[in-house]
Structure 1
Amino acid sequence: MLERAACPTGKRFVLVRDADKKGLRLRVTAAGGKHWQFETRLRSGKLFTRALGEWPTISIEQARRAAHELRGMTEQGSDPREAERVKRDAAKALAAEDAARKLTVGEVWPLYLANGRPKRRDAWKPGYRADLETMASPGGAEKKRGRGLTRPGPLFPLLALPLAKVDEDSLKIWYDGEAKKGKHQAARALMMFRGFLRWCSARPEYRDLTDRDAGKAAAILEGLPGSTRRTDALEAAQVAGWWTGAEQLSNRTAGAYLRALLLTGARREELAGLTWTNIDFQWRKLTIADKVDDTRTIPLTPYLAHLLASLPRRNDFVFASTGKAGRIADARASHAKALQSAAIDGLTIHGLRRSFSLLGEAAGAPAGAIAQVMGHKPSATAEGYRPRSIDALRPFLEQIETHILALAGVKFDASKEPTPLRAVA
């Protein structure tokens, strides 16, 4: 019978209704097409029509089963379209949840680097951002110093983990493996990763996937190396030997850099990045990078001015080098030679910063002035924080410099003008 169904001449289509299933019909077009349809009125009064497929691809039995299901829904007051929408939404939500559960740390990590700035800052400090990238690097690159390829960073194994599976157990397994290579490096990587977890837990899209406290589990913390606070610093009697050792280094730039660290109390990276444009020889000021603020400006003391002006001008950096960075990168080897010549053991480069603070106190400078020159946070000052102008700081820093030079046995005429800069090709 369905084979013989045809559209009358002069009409576009005809509807052939099924006698057994109310609402089911076959739409036969003038071109010979035959398509199943179901049509009924919803309780709201709206007409509901649904295409069921083309005959004979869809048989009459299949069309009747589909029509039966649709009629059952509509007679119970349901709109099949709404039910299907709910079903689709549920399927999408389930798929989204499944995708989220498979979201890896490596997929979120670049977003953390781009947007996870620390509190009260507009962006990462360049040095810390570089450390984050190094910690998660895959390795395999040519070493900048020495031969061979770099190893993967401590955080690299975590990048493959789904974020939702980063828990106490997975972190413990990771940390124990990295600690065998180096406990302190593994501990620093853990601290960095805890910052990543805090950032993820603060974002709605990652909050339900993140175990914020996974890195604080007792099983992990008990394996961390002890935090021994360094106290190394130059004693007054050691200043002369150390100074002579630094002054006699074959690398004049390294020698000047080490002495400048002692005379300013600056952090090593703060001074290593010093450029000639940061020095104001006319008004005797020095602007350096700062860990707390972007920069800080301190007085340029007489001896330091002579010391810096005597350096050759090879490029934009004051403490220039022929390496890729164009500036001094690691002065530990030079410092070791100075220590050896002075028979001093255990003094780190950061110990020069502590030495400045202790020698400054011995010189009689106020604790607040010393802290301001060093770039300490206000809460770290002993006398209460009262920011001083450059001119107000100048006599105290000159007082410290005079005391250090006296201990070093350096005779210096502060009335002399700094040696003119000379360019070096």
Structure 2
Amino acid sequence: MDNKINFTKIIIDALPTPSPGKRDTYHDKETSGLQLRVTSSGIKTFSVYRRIKGGDPERITLGRYPDMKIEQARREALRIAFEISDGKNPAEVKRGKKAELTFADLFCEYLERHSKPSKRTWREDESKYKTYLEESLGRKKLSIIDRRDIALIHSSITKAGHDITANRVLALVSSIFGWAISAGLWEFNPAIGIKRNKEKSRDRFIQGDELPRFFEAVAKEENEAIRDYVLMSLLTGARRSNVLSMRWQDINFNRAEWRIEETKNGTPQTVALSPEALEILQNRKPSDNAIFVFPGSGKAGHLMEPKKGWKRILESAGIENLRIHDLRRTLGSWQAKTGASMAIIGKSLNHKNQNTTAIYARLDLDPVRDSVNKATSAMLTAAGLKKSAGTVRIRRSKGGDFGK
């Protein structure tokens, strides 16, 4: 069955499915040589059917509809027609197409050759790819990926209410293609020119009137690892990934310190541990030779994803719009409330700021420790757990309430 039709989305979507074992072929009225073949299983594939001077006709498969858009197929058909008119063999063109990388192939190269060797956040790259890019781009050849494809992904993530995530995914795509160009694997970056969403600096932290409900909800959390992880995140102000991968060998109980050899900004950090943080660690300390403070059953060996537990805590506390990263900001905010300087706060949270790095380097840990302890005391007082000086037991007791 050979028909000439105008390739439009409405017409192609309405094409009938051939009977079992049959295949229908349609020719585009607009672009010479461009075909659409429809199988009995409903698969629709674009191809170019052209004759070489003095030879037999050649069929060159372009891609499946709707992964390949109509305009993409037309552009590709025109490109192939030009190459044939220039004396090139379409069989060689076809072999070149088969050898061309898909986006999945390119991401694998990027992950192994660039992301893993040079980025501590390579797992985040992998997660973004699997969540937002694998299904929509993974099987596509690089030559059919254009700016509209990337813009559509960015737009769909944005419409789902994740403006910042959309920007991060766009940045990842741009980084992948940028690296591919530098590595000689590709020639252009289709992510360039796409407008990013405006981002507002987030200033959310746990307010004084929220602290009683927050600590009460943490106390009710049945999962001890999640409960202690949340408390340690709040009391140390350390980054999420560092707390998750906290190791016993890096904790010095005598000096009340936790040494993080490498943080997100590439520098080491010594975290001053408050008496309350030390109590949590003492109670968690195992009798065996455990490696991680928060062990997990996964490949990494430590707790990986606390989102479900975090959601339970927020729902129990009746608190909205609070993220785990906001615990880090909470400690810094309460340090500021208790009179700490920006330099003290910056060193305790390991901020990387060229204007203050030299000041951080000159700071002794003692004033940082004093600031962390004051902030911890202020938070516990605001939560109604502390009325005077002294350490407060903030882990859940057998009775289910916080002990004094």
Give the TM-score taking structure 2 as reference length: 0.62
| Residue identity in the other structure for 1:167 | D
Q: Does structure 2 retain, via aligned residues, the 8 Å contact 1:367–1:383?
A: no
Distance 2:342 2:310 in 1: 28
- 1:154 aligns to 2:154 (yes or no): no
In structure 2, the partner of 1:111 is 109
In structure 2, the partner of 1:198 is 178
In structure 2, the partner of 1:215 is 191
In structure 1, the partner of 2:326 is 351
1:311 to 281, 284, 289: 284
Q: Does structure 2 retain, via aligned residues, the 8 Å contact 1:246–1:335?
A: no
Q: Does structure 2 retain, via aligned residues, the 8 Å contact 1:234–1:352?
A: yes
Distance 2:134 2:298 in 1: 28
In structure 2, the partner of 1:87 is none
Distance 1:295 1:210 in 2: 38
Closer/same/farther in 2, CA of residues 238 and 317 from structure 1, 3 Å limit: same
Correspondences of 1:161-310 after superposition (within 5 Å): 161-172=140-151, 187-203=167-183, 205-206=184-185, 209-212=186-189, 214-217=190-193, 220-221=194-195, 226-288=198-260, 289-293=262-266, 295-310=268-283
Q: Does structure 2 retain, via aligned residues, the 8 Å contact 1:372–1:387?
A: no
Q: Does structure 1 retain, via aligned residues, the 8 Å contact 2:104–2:134?
A: no
Paired residue secondary structure (2:118): coil
Distance 2:153 2:374 in 1: 52
Paired residue secondary structure (1:310): helix
Q: Does structure 2 retain, via aligned residues, the 8 Å contact 1:154–1:178?
A: no
Distance 1:251 1:107 in 2: 40
Q: CA deviation at 1:360?
A: 0.7
Distance 2:353 2:370 in 1: 21
Q: Which runs of 5+ in 1 are unaligned?
A: 1-90, 138-151, 417-425
Q: Which runs of 5+ in 2 are unaligned?
A: 1-87, 394-404
- The count of aligned residue pairs is 299
Q: CA deviation at 1:348?
A: 2.0
Give the TM-score taking structure 1 as reference length: 0.59
Correspondences of 1:17-166 after superposition (within 5 Å): 99=96, 102-117=100-115, 123-125=118-120, 128-137=121-130, 153-166=132-145
Q: Does structure 2 retain, via aligned residues, the 8 Å contact 1:272–1:327?
A: yes
Closer/same/farther in 2, CA of residues 156 and 134 from structure 1, 3 Å limit: farther
Paired residue secondary structure (1:298): strand
| Residue identity in the other structure for 1:279 | I
Deviations 1:77-110 (A, max 9, x none): xxxxxxxxxxxxxx9xxx79x8499344444333
Q: CA deviation at 1:281?
A: 0.5
Distance 2:302 2:362 in 1: 31
Q: Does structure 2 retain, via aligned residues, the 8 Å contact 1:285–1:300?
A: yes
| Residue identity in the other structure for 1:400 | A
| Residue identity in the other structure for 1:297 | T
Closer/same/farther in 2, CA of residues 167 and 230 from structure 1, 3 Å limit: same
Q: CA deviation at 1:194?
A: 0.4
Deviations 1:174-205 (A, max 9, x none): 656777778655543322110112212334x2
| Residue identity in the other structure for 1:112 | Y
Closer/same/farther in 2, CA of residues 267 and 162 from structure 1, 3 Å limit: same
Q: Does structure 2 retain, via aligned residues, the 8 Å contact 1:163–1:210?
A: no
Q: Does structure 2 retain, via aligned residues, the 8 Å contact 1:379–1:385?
A: no
Deviations 1:90-138 (A, max 9, x none): x9xxx79x849934444433332233259xxx6221xx3223334445x
| Residue identity in the other structure for 2:187 | T
Distance 2:392 2:326 in 1: 31
Deviations 1:373-392 (A, max 9, x none): 21211248599655423345
Distance 1:348 1:134 in 2: 18
Distance 1:181 1:242 in 2: 28
| Residue identity in the other structure for 1:116 | H
| Residue identity in the other structure for 2:124 | D
Closer/same/farther in 2, CA of residues 258 and 177 from structure 1, 3 Å limit: closer
Paired residue secondary structure (1:393): helix
Q: Does structure 2 retain, via aligned residues, the 8 Å contact 1:291–1:375?
A: no
Q: What is the CA RMSD across the aligned residues, in angstroms?
A: 3.8
Distance 2:357 2:150 in 1: 40
Q: CA deviation at 1:240?
A: 2.8
Q: Equivalent pairs: percent with the same residue?
A: 21
Q: Does structure 2 retain, via aligned residues, the 8 Å contact 1:233–1:351?
A: yes
Q: CA deviation at 1:309?
A: 0.7
Paired residue secondary structure (1:282): coil
Closer/same/farther in 2, CA of residues 365 and 173 from structure 1, 3 Å limit: closer
Distance 2:304 2:275 in 1: 26
